[in-house]
A = this chain, B = another copy of it.
Amino acid sequence: MPRWTNNAEKRLRNAAAELFEAHGYEAVTVTAIAERAGLTRRTFFRYFPDKREVLFPQTDEIGEAVAQAINIQPKDADAGVLVGEIITVLVRAGTVITSDRQAQRKRQTLIQSSPELRERSRTKLATTAATIESALTTRGEPDAQIIAAVAVDLLRTAYQATLEGDDNASFAEHVKRARTALRSFDSYSRLPAPVSDP
C-alpha cells in the first residue's frame, strides 16, 4: 500500500509535468491531471492541497531536514557549526534535486510563466526560512533570522545557477561560490563608517 501510494504521487506529478508542458500551467485542470495519471480528483487532493502544490514536492522536506540537523547538534555548538550543518543538508538536498537538470529547467520555466506559481514559490521559501529560523531560535541563537534567510538565499541562488550555468558546475560549487560572495558584506567594515552616521 505505501508503495502504491508513493507511486500514485509520482504518477500525478509526472502527468502534471507533461500536461503543463503541452498546454501551459493555466489551461490544465486538476481533473485532467488525475485522468492522465489514471486516478481520481479525490486521490489528487489526498496528496496536494491545490494545483500549484504539485510543482513543489520537496520544499517542505528541506526545511524540516535542516531543522532536524540543527536539533541534534550538541548544546554548545556555535553559529559556525550550526551553519556548517545547515549548508551540508542544503547541499545534499540541492544535489539530489538538480540531478535531473532538464526536468528542473522545465519546472523553472513554468514557475516563471505564472504569477500564482511565482507567489507560491516565494511562500514556500519563506516557510523554509521560518522553519530554519524557528529551529535556531529554539537553541537561543540570537542571529536566527538572518542566518535562516541567507541559508535559503544560498539554496535558491545555487539552484538557479546550477540550472542556468553553462559550465556544468555542481550545486555544491555554486553554494561555495555564493558563500564566498558574502565576504563583500564584511569587507565593507574597512571603509570609512557611513553606517554609524547615515
Binding site for B on A (CB under 8 A): 78-84, 87-88, 91-92, 95, 119, 122-123, 126, 143, 145-147, 149-150, 153-154, 156-157, 160-161, 172, 175-191, 194-196, 198
Contact = CB atoms under 8 A, between A and B. Distances in A.
The oligomer's copy count stands at: 2
Contacts of A194: 84, 88, 91
A157 B146 contact: yes
A183 B78 CA distance: 12
B83 A198 contact: no
A10 B184 CA distance: 38
13 contacts: A79-B181, A80-B184, A82-B184, A87-B188, A88-B198, A91-B198, A122-B122, A122-B123, A122-B126, A146-B154, A150-B185, A154-B185, A182-B186
B176 A195 contact: yes
Chain A's interface: helix, strand, loop or mixed, by majority?
helix
Contact of A195 (B88, B122, B157, B190): B88
Contact of A172 (B91, B126, B196): B196
Contacts of A178: 143, 146
Contacts of A88: 194-195, 198
A145 B181 CA distance: 10
B185 A160 contact: no
Contacts of A156: 149
B149 A157 contact: yes
B195 A147 contact: no
A95, A153, A161, A176 interface centre (most CB from chain B within 10 Å): A153
Contacts of A183: 186
Nearest to A120: B119
